[in-house]
Amino acid sequence: MQKRIVLLGSTGSIGTQTLEVVLNLRESHSVEIIGMSAHSNVELLRKQADEFGLPQERICLSSKEPDKLLELAALPNCIVVNAIVGSAGLESTLAALKAGNTVALANKESLVAGGERVMQIARDNNAKLIPVDSEHSAIWQCIGENRHKDIAKIILTASGGPFFGYSKEQLKTVTKEQTLNHPNWSMGAKISVDSATLMNKGLELIEAMYLFGLPEDKIDVVIHPQSIIHSAVEFVDGSVIAQMSVPDMRLPIQYALTYPERLPSPLTQNEHKKLSLTELGSLTFAKPDYKVFSCLALAREAARHGGDAPRRLNQANEEAVELFLKSKINFCEIAEYITESIKS
Ligand code: NAD
Ligand code: MG
């Protein structure tokens, strides 16, 4: 059966990679785009709409048409890929779930800002939430048909970002350019900054807590600079199941769209792109430094606290990242800004 996809945030990093995945799946006739939105890049949105044969009523420029964004999210019987950045994506997630749609969720801020509410509305409407974030896709795949009570803990992997191994002193002089230059992934500006501060891992910790119904102390963060193991799950018998692949977001995006099927992907069409353990030789792991990367500590605290704390943390982080991107504050001031703003 052909799946109908509504893609919110089509012009971004996840959005454009989703379109690549859909083009690649076209031959299998398994997916079709029926709606898309972008916030400001109207030219690219029009071009994408032309390419995928969408009429005007199925595209939305969300900066001008917020109501239409929610209407698209609520179109009947579809998978809504939420690739919007920031807590601005929360309302779309809720609208999609209320309509009983499956949400393929890249927008982690939805769960950080509205965790319990999002999960409750999904349950009430019998709507599925499929993770697109690579770590959460990995965890979801590792859990598979295992029983929830058999999970001992989640091992959430992190690349460590561009400043892995830096001291507090060294972080004081890093530039915006260095911050936006991630070693393993090419992503939007906001998540690139979050990856450098490790707030991204903090947000993912909270995302995992709600998605998989586990307390904060059952989610470990492990630095794994090669980004080959996308996360792992330890079970009560001591067995650990991990999911591996080369780092490529098109894989978790595709699996969210084709689930429960697996189909050939952009990785399988190119022998060089597939994972070769012998070429890799070794994988390494380290503990994160919560003192140097204090954003991760702040997120853990908010996760432990629960209630409104994750939403407030996320709000403060969005403000701080925006100030950093506008060169109003420096890298170390991001954590300071968040600390101050969640205090008040
Ligand atoms: P991006 O900045 O490249 O793209 C964001 C998209 O959202 C654009 O299409 C933009 O038009 C739209 N948008 C921006 N502000 C909006 C608003 N206020 N309302 C509605 N739409 C808006 O971001 P990205 O890197 O593609 O990330 C998108 C989401 O996916 C984020 O939540 C991010 O954390 C998550 N994610 C991204 C990656 C990645 O590799 N890029 C990996 C995992 C998770
Ligand atoms: Mg991730």
Nearest to 248, CA basis, from 109, 137, 129, 139: 137
Band the pLDDT of 327: cuts 50, 70, 90.
very high
pLDDT band at 183 (very low <50, low <70, confident <90, very high): confident
The residue ranking higher by pLDDT, 270 or 36, is 36
Instruction: Assess whether pLDDT exceeds 90 at residue 299.
Output: yes
Burial of 55 (0-12, 13-18, 19+ CB in 10 A): exposed
238-292 confidence digits (pLDDT tens): 999 999 999 999 999 999 999 999 999 988 887 778 999 999 999 999 999 999 9
Tell me the mean pLDDT in the region 302-328: 97
For residue 301, CA distances in Å to 13, 75, 134, 220, 309 come to 30, 38, 23, 14, 9
- Check pLDDT > 80 for residue 1: no
Q: Is the CB of 251 under 6 A from ligand 1?
A: no
**What is the average per-residue pLDDT within 153-159?**
98
pLDDT at residue 29 tops 80: no
Q: Which residue has the tokens 């994972």?
A: 275
Nearest-angstrom CA–CA distance, 102 and 127: 6
- The distance from CA 174 to its chain's CA centroid, rounded to whole angstroms, is 25
**Angstrom distance (rounded) from CA 70 to CA 80:** 11
Q: Identify the pLDDT of residue 160.
A: 96
**Arithmetic mean of pLDDT, 96-113:** 98
For a mutational test of ligand 1's pocket, the pick from 85, 192, 250, i.e. the residue with the most ligand atoms closer than 8 A to its C-beta, is 85
**CB of residue 203 inside a 6 A radius of ligand 1:** no
Q: Which two tokens stand for residue 283?
A: 């994988």
Q: Which pLDDT score, from 0 to 100, does residue 186 have?
A: 81
**pLDDT greater at residue 343 or residue 75:** 75
Please determine, for residue 297, whether its predicted confidence score (pLDDT) is greater than 90.
yes
In the predicted structure, residue 173 carries a pLDDT above the cut 80: yes
Residue 214's contacts (CB-CB under 8 Å, 6 or more residues apart) are 151, 153, 154, 208
Residue 54 binned pLDDT confidence (cut-offs 50, 70, 90)? very high
What's the 84 CA to ligand 1 centre distance in angstroms?
Answer: 4
Whole-angstrom distance, CA of residue 200 vs CA of residue 109? 10
- Ligand 1, atom nearest to 110 Cα: 32
pLDDT of residue 185: 77
Long-range pairs for 337-341: beta carbons < 8 A, 24 or more residues apart:
338/199, 338/295, 338/298, 338/313, 339/294, 339/298, 341/312, 341/315, 341/316
Cα of 89 from ligand 1 centre, angstroms: 9
Check residue 75 and give its pLDDT: 98
pLDDT number for residue 270: 77
Both tokens of 325, joined, read 């991107």
pLDDT by residue (tens digit) across 55-69?
999 999 999 999 999
Q: What is the mean pLDDT of residues 224-244?
A: 98
* Nearest partner of 134 among 244, 18, 252, judged by Cα: 252
For residues 163-174, average pLDDT: 96
**Residue 221 CA: which ligand is closest?**
2
- % the chain with pLDDT above 90: 93
CB of residue 317 inside a 6 A radius of ligand 1: no
pLDDT above 70 covers a percentage of the chain that reads: 100
CB hemisphere CA count around 188 (13 angstroms): 20
Residue 117 vs residue 268, higher pLDDT: 117
- Categorize the per-residue pLDDT at 193 as very low, low, confident or very high, splitting at 50, 70 and 90: very high
